[in-house]
Amino acid sequence: MKTTPQFPKDAESRKAIPIATGFVDYFPDAIIEVAKLSLIANDQHNPGQPLHWSREKSSDDADALMRHFLSRGSVDGEGIRHTAKVAWRALAMLQREIEEVRSLK
């Protein structure tokens, strides 16, 4: 399921969210690593399917984040940094939290 970002309705508020300069420009290499991880994980968990997040296949983001955190600084058998997996899980947790709050409104 692809989610639609919830930008503010007015142009001034939207322009005050620095996505490129406040996120992408800060962490370009980290974003590349997380994107590579997304593709490798998709190929592993959804072989032959287009890139997508199979949310139902793993919802233990906090525990998985901590398992990868314990292995931070190392690389797994697929050549992916455990710290990239920490970042992916943190982003997954944040996305789910935001969606949960949004669904309560």
Domain edges within the chain: 11-50+59-104
* pTM for the whole structure: 0.89
**Phi/psi at 79 (nearest 5 deg)?**
85, 15
- In DSSP terms, 75 is beta-bridged to 81
Over residues 46-88, the pLDDT tens digits come to: 999 999 999 988 889 999 999 999 999 999 998 999 999 999 9
- In DSSP terms, 81 is beta-bridged to 75
Identify the three-state secondary structure at position 81. strand
List Cβ neighbours of 24 (8 Å cut-off, separation of 6 or more). 31
